[in-house]
Amino acid sequence: MLTLSLSSFPSLLLLHPQSKRHRFVSFNFKPKPAAAATSVYSPRIDNLVDSVNIADDVTQLIGRTPMVYLNKVTQGCVANIAAKLESMEPCRSVKDRIGYSMISDAEERGEITPGKSVLVEPTSGNTGLEIVLTDPEKGLKGAIDKAEEIALSMPNAYMFQQFDNVANTKIHFETTGPEIWEDTMGIVDIFVAGIGTGGTVTGTGRYLKTMNKKVQVVGVEPAERSVISGENPGYLPSILDVKLLDEVVKVTNVEAVEMARKLALEEGLLVGISSGAAAVAAINLARRPENAGKLIAVIFPSFGESHHPIFLIGAIFIEGTSRR
């Protein structure tokens, strides 16, 4: 029997020029150990190993998310808007990218061990798995302080510190930015993204400006809690490069929820409320006369089920029922 291991193919990914989805890991691909591979592949598959489009494991499905034009919610727009659907990541969130990147980085440096380390992380969104809620009045700083307290009291705890971790911006510089650049064939004029840690907007925006310094980078903030553009200065993550931002657009919660609902009903895109907020900001920019004919790329960071499911899906259900 011809035995073939993936370790015989250190450049396996390059053998799939037509396979877009393997690109994510091409910069950091680690072949499977020969023992595992030989026990898995049959001669029938050995013969096809160059051409099958099957991921080795779920991490190879991270990234390479599709872009789609918005068509129905764009009344009055003079620019085109293309949404990048991070809602189609394996765990339904842009955070898949930094999960992979921060874990690989910490493993390579020997700071965490699979099966032993407990990862504790402050998050305002969907980086977490088991959740400890903190006082909303204390904002992100409150969540960070609480995470530090938990990490100190727990053996084998490790904090990635996504708000300060350069592996966060790095993965967006290495993947999200190039994906948008390639998928738009370099004609993107404006890049719009919400700001949590600032990793997405900084890493992606920095890449796009490296490719074309005229690309405008626009951040989106909740109007009720605007820490960059607002009257209520708050905690600024160290990885957020504020100087990179050409503009920050404020969007209210009500506008964000209403737009998330419209995206589901009119565009068929079930995305989270922050995607609604990002869409409101992109539409605002796309209506400005000076942006006529431009292409705006906007990040939709997560799927609709993970944020306020009853609120959002309930509203869609009621509307759907009343239309019948």
Q: Which residues are catalytic?
A: 95, 274
Specify the DSSP element, H or E, that contains 275: helix 273-286
Query: What residues pair up with 219 in beta bridges, in sequence order?
Result: 193, 248
The two structure tokens encoding residue 217:
């980078």
Residue 199 near ligand PLP by CB under 6 A: yes
Nearest CB to ligand PLP, comparing residues 197 and 226 = 197
Residue 276 near ligand PLP by CB under 6 A: no
Cα atoms in the 13 Å half-sphere on the side-chain side of 121: 23
Stretches 57-65, 176-184, 188-196, 288-296: which one binds ligand PLP (CB under 6 A)? 188-196
Nearest distance from residue 204's CB to ligand PLP, in Å? 9
Nearest CB to ligand PLP, comparing residues 74 and 93 = 93
Nearest CB to ligand PLP, comparing residues 64 and 84 = 84
Query: What residues pair up with 84 in beta bridges, in sequence order?
Result: 67, 299
Q: Which of 65, 134, 216, 274 binds ligand PLP (CB under 6 A)?
A: 274
Q: CA 45 to CA 80: how far, in whole Å?
A: 44
How would DSSP label each residue in 291-312?
Answer: GTT-EEEEEE-BBTTSSSHHHH
Question: Among all residues, whose Cβ is closest to ligand PLP?
Answer: 194
Query: Taking CB under 6 A as the rule, which mask of x and - marks residues 69-108 in contact with ligand PLP?
Result: ------------------------xxx-------------
Residue 301 near ligand PLP by CB under 6 A: yes
Specify the DSSP element, H or E, that contains 166: helix 166-171
Q: Which of 272, 279, 296, 304 binds ligand PLP (CB under 6 A)?
A: 272
Q: In what order do the strands lie in the sheet with 80-85?
A: 67-69, 80-85, 295-300, 190-194, 216-222, 247-251
Residue 5 near ligand PLP by CB under 6 A: no
